[in-house]
Amino acid sequence: MPVSFLSNEQRESYGRYTMAPSPQDLDKYFHLDDTDHARIAQKRGKHNRLGFAVQLGTVRYLGTFLTDLLDVPAPVLLTLARQLRIDLSVDVVIAYSSDMQRQRHATEIRASYGYIDITERQVGFRLTRWLYALCWTGTDRPSVLFERATIWLMTHKVLLPGCSTLERYIARLRSRVEERFWRSLGRGISDAQRDRLESLLVVP
């Protein structure tokens, strides 16, 4: 099967803001609790406090970190700035976008909030087993499996890998399941039945 099976829309929306989150999503993913506020209060400067909050909300919502606050929808920035009592301005956003603290914040969030990479052995094993069962018992298209895998990763706090990496992973797994399925079918027929089936492939 072809490795490239995603639509342009799926590829462009993977791990990115394509529109502003709904009010419900803002409440769910971008609400800062007491623990969040205590950690954010340790950051020096408005731009670092807002930037850390955006990174935290983004990884909860999208499953990945962003490097540029200018890519974040305005409702997200306003929601977080209001909670942090920060007057939102372009200067604050630009200051964080050009600050090297971004990578340090991402590392801190990973360690403090339990986010891990897909390369962790136990993660790969669990995801493979789960997807294998879906392929074996269902008829989902590869693009649907991709969406379900993305949700699984985010639910289990696994940072999203590159789009093409996950796409190739699902293609290989689905190919393995299909190969096992056809082998199982082949073992259940006699030699005479196999010969009859192969004869159907002969073009007069």
Contacts of 175 (CB under 8 A, 6+ apart): 1
The percent of residues in the chain predicted with pLDDT above 90, rounded, is 42
- The upper half-sphere exposure of residue 106, i.e. CA atoms within 13 Å in the direction of its Cβ, equals 16
pLDDT at 80: 95
Question: For residue range 32-80, what is the model confidence (pLDDT) as tens digits?
Answer: 999 999 999 999 899 999 999 999 999 999 999 987 777 899 999 999 9
Q: What does the pLDDT average to over 128-147?
A: 83
CA distance 123 to 119: 7
pTM above threshold 0.85: no
